[in-house]
C-alpha cells in the first residue's frame, strides 16, 4: 500500500516512477538502467608487438572485443601501429574501443571481386565464384545481383576450391541468369548492429578509396551502425572511404563529437533513416559529396559547432526530417549549395520545423547559385542570426526558394556581398 501511495504522489508531482535519485545504487540482476559508478573495469590491450593480445589485423581486435564483452564490458585499447583489415571489426554492447589518435591506424585492404557462376537461393549458405584469387576464409564480402532486393553482407567461413560457405544463409536470391551476380570484399571498417552503450574513439580509419569498389552508406562506411542506441563516436579521423565516413541507421541518442570525416565519395556524416536525437558537435567535414546528410525521418537532432568545408553540399535535409537544430556551424566552399532542403513527393514528406541559427555561410554555390536552397514546401523553418557572406560576386543569393509553398521565418540574419533572396528580417 505504501508503494502505491508513493507512486501516486510522484505522478502528481510530475516525477516518473523510479526517477527519484538513489544515493547508493546497487548492481541488480537484469537491471541495466541503474549501475554504480565503478572505479575500474576490465581493459585489454591489442598491439602488434605488445599487449595482452597481439596481431596486426581485425582478428586480434575482434578477439579482444569478444573477450571484454563476455566478461561484462570494459575497454579495448588498440596500441599504436597500422592494422590492415580484411573484415569489419564488430562492436559489442558495453565496450569502449579506443586508440591513440593518429598513432592507431586501421586501413581497409584493397577490394577484389568475382562473378558468381551458379545460382544461390535465399535459403542457401554458400556461393560459387568464377575465380577465388584474392578471396580468403575470414574475409568480409558484399553480394549484389539484380535478383536481390538489397546488398547482402556476409563473412566467408569455409572453402573448397571456388565454393565458399557463408556465416549466415543468404535470405535473398542471387541468380546469375538475370545479370551479373557479384561478390566483392567490401565492408565497413567498424560495424555495430543491435547494440547499446558503446564508445569508439581516438582512431584513424583509412578507407583506401583508390583501391576499393563503392559501397554506399546504407551498408558501409569507415563506421557503420544499424539499430543501435546510446553510442558515442569521439575524436575519430575517418578518411578516404569509397562511400560514407560515419553512418548510423535507425540509431537513437547517438553522440558524434570532435570527429573528422574527409575525402569520402559519399557522405561525411550520415544520420540515417529513423534516427532520433543525434548530437553532432565540434566535427570537421571536408571534401565529401555531402557534409551532413539527414536521411529519412531524422528528428530531434542537433548539429552544432561543426566546420563543413568544400563538400558538394554542406548539409542536406529532406524526407520527414523534422524538429532539428542546426546551430553555430561554419558552412563554406560548397560546390552546389551550403544547405539543401530536398524536394519531396508532397508537403507531408518535407523537412518541417527545423531551426537554422547562428551559422556562417561563406562562399557557397556556383555563379547564380545560393547558400541555402529550398526545393520542398517546408513549413515552420526558422532562419535566425545567420551570417551570409560572399567574396566572389556572381549574383549569388543567400536563400533560393524553388517551391512556392514554403514558409520560412527570418530574424537577425546578415547579408554581405550577396542578395538576400527575398528573405527579409522583421
Per-residue pLDDT of 117-168, as tens digits, reads: 999 999 999 999 999 999 999 999 999 999 999 999 999 999 999 999 999 9
Report which of residues 36 and 262 the model is more confident about.
262
**Domain-located, residue 66:** no
**Domain-located, residue 88:** no
Q: For residue 426, what pLDDT is reported? A: 59
C-alpha cell, 28: 541488480
**Domain-located, residue 102:** yes
From 126, 154, 184, give the residue that closes a domain: 184
**Domain-located, residue 27:** no
- The Cα 382–Cα 407 span in angstroms is 9
Q: Do both 395 and 279 map to the same domain?
A: yes
Residues composing the chain: 426
Q: Do both 227 and 292 map to the same domain?
A: yes
Q: Is 176 helix (H, G, I), strand (E, B) or coil?
A: helix
CB 322 within 8 A of CB 355: no
CB 203 within 8 A of CB 97: yes
User: Which of these, 181, 193, 108, lies nearest to 143 by C-alpha position?
Assistant: 181
**Domain-located, residue 65:** no
User: Which of these, 268, 320, 329, lies nearest to 302 by C-alpha position?
Assistant: 329
CATH number at residue 404: 2.160.20.10
Q: Is 6 helix (H, G, I), strand (E, B) or coil?
A: helix
User: Which of these, 288, 323, 326, 287, lies nearest to 306 by C-alpha position?
Assistant: 326
- The Cα 209–Cα 244 span in angstroms is 11
From 184, 200, 234, give the residue that closes a domain: 184
CB 127 within 8 A of CB 143: yes
Report which of residues 332 and 406 the model is more confident about.
332
Q: For residue 30, what pLDDT is reported? A: 83
C-alpha cell, 210: 583508390
Q: Do both 201 and 342 map to the same domain?
A: yes
Contacts for 74 with CB less than 8 Å, ≥ 6 apart:
41, 42, 43, 44, 68, 94, 95, 96
- Binned at pLDDT 50, 70 and 90, residue 24 comes out as confident
CB 311 within 8 A of CB 284: no
Q: For residue 3, what pLDDT is reported? A: 46
**Domain-located, residue 324:** yes
CB 175 within 8 A of CB 145: yes
Q: Do both 137 and 166 map to the same domain?
A: yes
Write down the residue that cell numbers 532486393 correspond to.
149
Q: Do both 307 and 200 map to the same domain?
A: yes
Q: Dmax of the chain from CA atoms?
A: 75
Q: Do both 103 and 247 map to the same domain?
A: yes
Report which of residues 422 and 75 the model is more confident about.
75
Weakest mean pLDDT among 175-189, 243-257, 329-343: 175-189
Whole-model pTM: value is 0.93
Q: Report the domain count for the chain.
A: 2
- Binned at pLDDT 50, 70 and 90, residue 395 comes out as confident
Q: For residue 331, what pLDDT is reported? A: 98
Domain that includes residue 264, residue range: 94-108+187-416
Q: Do both 170 and 203 map to the same domain?
A: no
From 184, 208, 240, give the residue that closes a domain: 184
Q: For residue 18, what pLDDT is reported? A: 56
- Determine which helix (DSSP H) or strand (DSSP E) holds 63, and give its type and residue range: helix 58-70
Residue 173 is classified by DSSP as -
Kindly tell me if the per-residue pLDDT of 8 is higher than 60.
no
- The Cα 208–Cα 384 span in angstroms is 40
Q: Do both 177 and 193 map to the same domain?
A: no
Q: For residue 230, what pLDDT is reported? A: 97
Q: Do both 340 and 371 map to the same domain?
A: yes
Q: Do both 101 and 120 map to the same domain?
A: no
**Domain-located, residue 13:** no
Q: Do both 315 and 345 map to the same domain?
A: yes
**Domain-located, residue 174:** yes
User: Which of these, 85, 176, 91, 95, lies nearest to 129 by C-alpha position?
Assistant: 176
Q: Is 223 helix (H, G, I), strand (E, B) or coil?
A: strand
Q: Do both 303 and 383 map to the same domain?
A: yes
- Whole-Å CA distances, 166 to 88, 188, 313: 15, 18, 39
What is the pLDDT of the chain when averaged over all its residues?
93
Contacts for 56 with CB less than 8 Å, ≥ 6 apart:
48, 81, 82, 83, 84
Span 205-220, mean pLDDT? 97
- Binned at pLDDT 50, 70 and 90, residue 107 comes out as very high
* 32 exposure class (CB count in 10 Å sphere: 0-12, 13-18, 19+): exposed
Amino acid at each position: 500500500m505504501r508503494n502505491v501511495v508513493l507512486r501516486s504522489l510522484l505522478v502528481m508531482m510530475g516525477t516518473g516512477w523510479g526517477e527519484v535519485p538513489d544515493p547508493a545504487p546497487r548492481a541488480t540482476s537484469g537491471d541495466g538502467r541503474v549501475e554504480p559508478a565503478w572505479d575500474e573495469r576490465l581493459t585489454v590491450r591489442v598491439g602488434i608487438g605488445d599487449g595482452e593480445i597481439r596481431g596486426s589485423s581485425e582478428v586480434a581486435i575482434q578477439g579482444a572485443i569478444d573477450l571484454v564483452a563476455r566478461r561484462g564490458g570494459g575497454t579495448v585499447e588498440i596500441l599504436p601501429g597500422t592494422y590492415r583489415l580484411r573484415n569489419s571489426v564488430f562492436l559489442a554492447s558495453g565496450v569502449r574501443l579506443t586508440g591513440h589518435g593518429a598513432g592507431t591506424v586501421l586501413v581497409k585492404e584493397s577490394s577484389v571481386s568475382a562473378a558468381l557462376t551458379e545460382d544461390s537461393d535465399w535459403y542457401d549458405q554458400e556461393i560459387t565464384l568464377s575465380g577465388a584469387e584474392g578471396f580468403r576464409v575470414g574475409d568480409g564480402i558484399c553480394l549484389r545481383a539484380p535478383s536481390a532486393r538489397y546488398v547482402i553482407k556476409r563473412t566467408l567461413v569455409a572453402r573448397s576450391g571456388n565454393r565458399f560457405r557463408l556465416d549466415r544463409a543468404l535470405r535473398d536470391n542471387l541468380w546469375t541468369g538475370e545479370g551479373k551476380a557479384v561478390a566483392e570484399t567490401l565492408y565497413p571498417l567498424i560495424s555495430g548492429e543491435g547494440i547499446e552503450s558503446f564508445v569508439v574513439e581516438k582512431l584513424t580509419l583509412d578507407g583506401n578509396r583508390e583501391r576499393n569498389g563503392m559501397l554506399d552508406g546504407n551498408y558501409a562506411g569507415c563506421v557503420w551502425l544499424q539499430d543501435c542506441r546510446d553510442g558515442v563516436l569521439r575524436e575519430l579521423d575517418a578518411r578516404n572511404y569509397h562511400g560514407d565516413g560515419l553512418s548510423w541507421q535507425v540509431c537513437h541518442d547517438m553522440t558524434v563529437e570532435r570527429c573528422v570525416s574527409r575525402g569520402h565519395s559519399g557522405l561525411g556524416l550520415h544520420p540515417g533513416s529513423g534516427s532520433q536525437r543525434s548530437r553532432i558537435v565540434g566535427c570537421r567535414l571536408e571534401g565529401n559529396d555531402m557534409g551532413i546528410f539527414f536521411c529519412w525521418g531524422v528528428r530531434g537532432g542537433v548539429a552544432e559547432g561543426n566546420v563543413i568545408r568544400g563538400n558538394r553540399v554542406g548539409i542536406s535535409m529532406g524526407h520527414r526530417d523534422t524538429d532539428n537544430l542546426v546551430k553555430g556551424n561554419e558552412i563554406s566552399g560548397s560546390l552546389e549549395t551550403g544547405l539543401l532542403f530536398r524536394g519531396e513527393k508532397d508537403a507531408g514528406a518535407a523537412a518541417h520545423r527545423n531551426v537554422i541559427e547562428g551559422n556562417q555561410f561563406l562562399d557557397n554555390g556556383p555563379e547564380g547559385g545560393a547558400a541555402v536552397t529550398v526545393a520542398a514546401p517546408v513549413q515552420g523553418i526558422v532562419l535566425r542570426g545567420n551570417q551570409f557572406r560572399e567574396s566572389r560576386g556572381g549574383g549569388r543569393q543567400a536563400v533560393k526558394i524553388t517551391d512556392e509553398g514554403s514558409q520560412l521565418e527570418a530574424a537577425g540574419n546578415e547579408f554581405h556581398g550577396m542578395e538576400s533572396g527575398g528573405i527579409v528580417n522583421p
